[in-house]
């Protein structure tokens, strides 16, 4: 088999869904790990992703976080070809277009359609490249292939399947209800060539006794003439990062307790990289919750201001929601606060956007908790980062107390430049992967003199166990409670658990028949 460039091409299999958030991303992660377990060279691919949850490749390119997770499951390094087009929403009908890891333009939804021919060239060549270097590429669709208003110009679902001659697994979410209608209706709205690409049906997020589905599954196979490849049970204790902020809507809100650390994340409208906080959610003795109004903030032990794609508009939203005043009050009353990326910028006194990089708002007052000024510039900083905790930032009473010299590995994704005086730099930058460390970039982040207010540009801070446990330990000391022993949040084991869970639910013999592959092990 060869691709469009007449070079040897790996096999493909594609997961499409009847709607968004039916579990496509996690299923692709599972298949990537299953194929890897079976001795195959595997890579993920999604032509176009719409998300503010993004990641930085070793060469400084920006891709969707979901594809980085899938690459990790596959045991390969993330690269821009795995997600050639990334759309980062800035408003309801406006998004930044990132092409092959670099910002291309900011476009309205209607104008974006004019770019499709240019984007398709990168999509098709990226997929061909991945196929030439791997035994199998697991492709993820987006939304539904049956969006009639989008079909003529779409570049992520059936156009990709037809280009790659890919067998498609069509996935429906039974937890939402109406799964049989969703699967049958989607098939009915496809044309003949597209319908022929669907080689199997998959039901996801099932709860209960699968034998109760037998009659329905038999009917579904007879009616559609498509095999049901599997029924995947809903899981609770496997921890894989979610792609969409929709997942935050299902995050339980824990009541604070004298024996539990209460951590509140401000859920701004354009929240980005919310998987930064997954390790906190898994820590025993920590109650992580997301808040959208000042009256829900309470008096947490720690407030977190997350990353934001549009910092100034989200800051103004906080003001309208009563969150700016509430955050100032709880910090005055002893709560600690950490800002990540956009949240770090919000902690300062002033935010300036003279060239209207992020929005049409040229300037805004920050929360004033750190003496910093952020100015947005046209060049986007996207770097893998390795840093160490500075001694001045780890003294007794500071949020990172006792963490002197701890290594922090993460990544930067931001447009702004933040400067100021009278603060303690949090980290010494050791390496920026694709860029030299200069005097201007040798330090990152800031703490105030009290050590209770801290900001950083480094995403992934809490994935570093030494720093995470130091912060939680300091919060526990201030509260006068004991901190339970930490948990191992290494994801590699979680990918194996996910693969075992999904493998046990799928007819893998059919999956291998569809791809024309055989396990290498």
Phi, psi of 278 (to 5 degrees): -55, -45
pLDDT at 254 over 80: no
Give percent of the chain above pLDDT 90: 71
Computed over every residue of the chain, the mean pLDDT equals: 90
pLDDT at 81 over 80: yes
Which letter does DSSP use for residue 188 in this model? H
The predicted structure's pLDDT at residue 150: 84
Do 382 and 412 contact (CB within 8 A), yes or no? yes
* Cα distances (angstroms) measured from residue 51 to each of 63, 66, 501, 518: 9, 9, 27, 34
Written out in words, the top-level CATH class of the domain with range 11-48+63-78+128-238+495-515 is alpha beta
Residues 440-465 have a mean pLDDT of: 93
* Cα distances (angstroms) measured from residue 282 to each of 65, 74, 217, 403, 498: 19, 23, 36, 21, 17
Residues 38-56 have a mean pLDDT of: 94
Interatomic CA distance for residues 160 and 47, integer angstroms = 8
Query: 127-144: b or e for each residue (b if 16 or more CB lie within 10 Å)?
Result: bbbbbebbbbbbbbbbbb
Please classify residue 119 by burial: count the beta carbons closer than 10 Å to its beta carbon, then call 0-12 exposed, 13-18 middle and 19+ buried: buried
72 versus 2: the higher-pLDDT residue is 72
Interatomic CA distance for residues 226 and 145, integer angstroms = 17
Point out the catalytic residue in the list 21, 163, 459, 463.
Answer: 459
Interatomic CA distance for residues 225 and 229, integer angstroms = 12
Residues 407-433 have a mean pLDDT of: 91
Written out in words, the top-level CATH class of the domain with range 245-479 is alpha beta
Residues 223-239 have a mean pLDDT of: 90
Please classify residue 222 by burial: count the beta carbons closer than 10 Å to its beta carbon, then call 0-12 exposed, 13-18 middle and 19+ buried: exposed
Give me the count of residues in the chain. 521
Interatomic CA distance for residues 70 and 418, integer angstroms = 33
Q: What is the pTM of this model?
A: 0.87
The predicted structure's pLDDT at residue 346: 97
Q: Where are the domains of the chain?
A: 11-48+63-78+128-238+495-515, 245-479
Q: Specify whether 171 is catalytic.
A: no
Q: Specify whether 32 is catalytic.
A: no
Per-residue pLDDT reduced to its tens digit, 124-169: 999 999 999 999 999 999 999 999 988 888 999 999 999 999 999 9
Point out the catalytic residue in the list 134, 341, 398, 463.
Answer: 341
H helical segments located in 273-409: 278-282, 311-320, 323-332, 342-346
Residue 212 — very low, low, confident or very high, per pLDDT cuts 50/70/90? confident
pLDDT at 245 over 70: no
Phi-psi region of 477 (alpha: psi -120 to 50; beta: other; left: phi over 0): alpha
Quick check: helix, strand or coil at residue 488? coil
pLDDT at 8 over 70: no
Specify the range with the lowest mean pLDDT, choosing from 284-298, 433-447, 452-466.
433-447
Domain pair 11-48+63-78+128-238+495-515 / 245-479, same fold: yes
* Cα distances (angstroms) measured from residue 39 to each of 12, 36, 138, 474: 16, 5, 15, 45
């Amino acid at each position: 088999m060869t691709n469009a460039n007449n070079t040897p091409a790996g096999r493909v299999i594609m997961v499409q869904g009847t709607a968004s958030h039916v579990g496509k991303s996690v299923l692709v992660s599972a298949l990537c790990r299953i194929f890897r377990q079976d001795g195959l060279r595997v890579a993920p691919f999604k032509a176009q992703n719409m998300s503010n949850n993004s990641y930085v490749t070793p060469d400084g390119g920006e891709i969707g976080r979901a594809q980085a997770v899938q690459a990790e499951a596959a045991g390969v390094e993330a690269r821009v070809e795995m997600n050639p087009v990334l759309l980062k929403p800035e408003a309801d009908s406006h998004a930044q277009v990132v092409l092959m890891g670099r910002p291309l333009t900011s476009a309205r939804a209607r104008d974006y359609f004019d770019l499709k021919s240019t984007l398709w060239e990168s999509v098709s060549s990226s997929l061909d490249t991945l196929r030439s270097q791997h035994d199998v590429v697991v492709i993820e669709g987006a939304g539904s292939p049956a969006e009639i208003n989008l079909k003529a110009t779409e570049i992520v679902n059936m156009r990709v399947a037809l280009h790659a001659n890919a067998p498609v697994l069509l996935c429906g979410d039974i937890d939402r209800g109406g799964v049989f209608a969703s699967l049958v209706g989607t098939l009915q709205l496809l044309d003949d060539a597209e319908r022929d690409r669907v080689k199997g049906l998959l039901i996801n997020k099932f709860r209960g006794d699968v034998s109760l589905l037998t009659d329905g599954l038999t009917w579904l196979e007879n009616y559609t003439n498509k095999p049901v490849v599997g029924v995947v049970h809903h899981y609770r204790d496997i921890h894989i990062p979610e792609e969409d902020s929709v997942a935050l809507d299902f995050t339980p809100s824990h009541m604070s307790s004298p024996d539990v650390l209460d951590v509140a994340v401000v859920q701004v409208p354009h929240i980005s990289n919310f998987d930064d906080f997954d390790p906190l959610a898994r820590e025993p003795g920590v109650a992580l919750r997301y808040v959208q109004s000042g009256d829900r903030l309470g008096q947490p032990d720690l407030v977190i201001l997350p990353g934001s794609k549009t910092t100034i508009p989200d800051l103004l939203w906080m003001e309208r929601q009563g969150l700016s005043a509430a955050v100032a009050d709880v910090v005055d009353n002893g709560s600690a606060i950490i800002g990540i990326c956009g949240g770090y910028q919000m902690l300062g006194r002033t935010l300036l956007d003279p060239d209207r990089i992020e929005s049409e708002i040229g300037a805004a007052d920050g929360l004033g908790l750190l003496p910093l000024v952020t100015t947005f510039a046209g060049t986007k900083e996207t770097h893998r980062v390795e840093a160490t905790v500075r001694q001045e930032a780890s003294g007794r009473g500071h949020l990172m107390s006792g963490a002197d010299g701890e290594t922090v590995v993460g990544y930067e994704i931001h447009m702004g430049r933040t400067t100021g005086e009278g603060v303690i730099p949090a980290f010494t930058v050791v390496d920026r992967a694709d860029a030299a460390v200069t005097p201007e970039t040798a330090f990152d982040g800031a703490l105030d003199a009290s050590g209770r207010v801290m900001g950083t540009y480094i995403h992934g801070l809490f994935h570093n166990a030494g720093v995470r446990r130091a912060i939680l330990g300091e919060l526990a000391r201030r509260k006068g409670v004991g901190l339970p022993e930490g948990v191992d949040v290494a994801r590699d084991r979680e990918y194996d658990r996910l693969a075992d869970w999904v493998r046990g639910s799928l007819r893998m013999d059919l999956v291998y028949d569809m791809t024309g592959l055989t396990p290498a092990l």
